[in-house]
Structure 1
Amino acid sequence: MREEKLQAKAQTVEEIKEKVQDAQSIVFVNYSGLSVADATELRAQYREAGVFYKVYKNTMMKRAFEELGYDESINEFLKGPSAAAFSMEDPVAAAKVTQKFADEHESIEIKLGLVGDKFISVDEIKDLAKLPSKEVLVAQVLGGLNAPIQGLANVLTGNLRGLAVVLNAIAEKKEQEATA
């Protein structure tokens, strides 16, 4: 029985380590004031944004971060009810959802964030939440790259159109001269 509990704890620590290593960013929250309905709504918003959200025991999270080589500064934030929102695809997704939800519900408290291997403060999470999503940034970059190409195509099309008009005018003039 005791060995099974130890094995379950070890599996939980491994799961946390895997999530931390695979995540683009993580937001840690205190969820203690959330009603069941609010918690369900928050989970749905995370799921919709592609964010993995889970409540872990603080001791399991502390152990996982320790095994991953992080310093013990996270321990001061892992007190009381703690949950983690892991952004696996878009680095700003967890921050955006959490910040929006926190603005609408005073019952949730943002504790800390992690981007790459750097812990970030609540203010930095708020700044991160203001950034556009990865898809929007990619679209903006591609739009910026496309603009010069579009301009070149318009110039070339304009020159070809002008050439066609001139050739047509010459052909009509020669035709009028031939008939006259």
Structure 2
Amino acid sequence: MPQQYKIDKVAEIEERVEASAGLYVMSYNGLTVKQAQELRHALREAGAEMKVYKNNLVRLALKNQEQPEIDDILAGPLAYVFYKEEPVSSAKVLKDFALKAKGVIEVKGGISEGKAITAEDAKAMADLPTKDQLLGQIAGLINGFARDIAVCVNGVSSGLARTVQQISEQKAA
């Protein structure tokens, strides 16, 4: 019979999986306490949270939540990064921290939008622009089109006004 604290941990993991849009699985061999605090703080700012759980408990929780199997990467000391909304910003934090800490952490894979992702997929997500950056780019494009339309409309009306003025000057002469 399983012990009560393990049942409670599985329930806690299930709640986190259900409340999050996805998770990244990362190894953290050699991560110091100070580095872990920095990483947790940076992830919190990006809308994510890092937790360390036993791999078997995570495996059970994912199975109970009918999530895709990622058993092939659940080996060794692992940390789990749960993100609430956007996978890109937390992937960027992990990538930047891995470069800064010179390979202390390594993203093994994870789950995004109900699908298993590989380490390469996570790295590709880190290279994408964030939601805010995309919205800014779209706003810039819309603003550019609006400005171009205003210039065109203004050009037509001013051209028409010059033509009418030239015709009136010719008739007056």
TM bin (shorter chain): 0.7 to 0.9
Looking at structure 1, the residues matched to 81 and 90 of structure 2 have their Cα atoms a distance apart, in angstroms, of 6
Tell me the SS of whatever aligns to 1:113: strand
Which of 87, 97, 104 is matched with 2:100 structurally?
A: 104
Which of 62, 67, 77 is matched with 1:65 structurally?
A: 62
Deviation string 1:107-143 (CA, Å, 9 cap, x unpaired) is 2122212211111111121111100101111222333
C-alpha contact (below 8 Å) 2:109/2:121 kept by paired residues: no
- Once the two structures are aligned, what percentage of the paired residues are identical? 35
**What's the offset of the Cα at 1:32?**
2.8
Q: Look up the match of 1:43.
A: 40
Q: Look up the match of 1:55.
A: 52
Q: Look up the match of 1:9.
A: 6
Q: Look up the match of 1:33.
A: 30
Which residues of 2 match residues 59-98 of structure 1 at below 5 A? 59-71=56-68, 73-98=69-94
CA root-mean-square deviation: 2.8
Number of equivalences: 170
Structure 2 gaps of 5+ residues are none
Structure 1 gaps of 5+ residues are none
What TM-score, normalized by structure 2, do the two folds share? Answer: 0.80
What TM-score, normalized by structure 1, do the two folds share? Answer: 0.78
Looking at structure 2, the residues matched to 40 and 57 of structure 1 have their Cα atoms a distance apart, in angstroms, of 20
Is the radius of gyration larger for structure 1 or structure 2?
Answer: 1
**Alignment pair present for 1:121 and 2:125:** no
Looking at structure 1, the residues matched to 72 and 25 of structure 2 have their Cα atoms a distance apart, in angstroms, of 12
Seen in structure 2, the aligned counterparts of structure 1 residues 32 and 159 have a Cα distance that, compared at 3 Å, is same
Looking at structure 2, the residues matched to 104 and 74 of structure 1 have their Cα atoms a distance apart, in angstroms, of 27
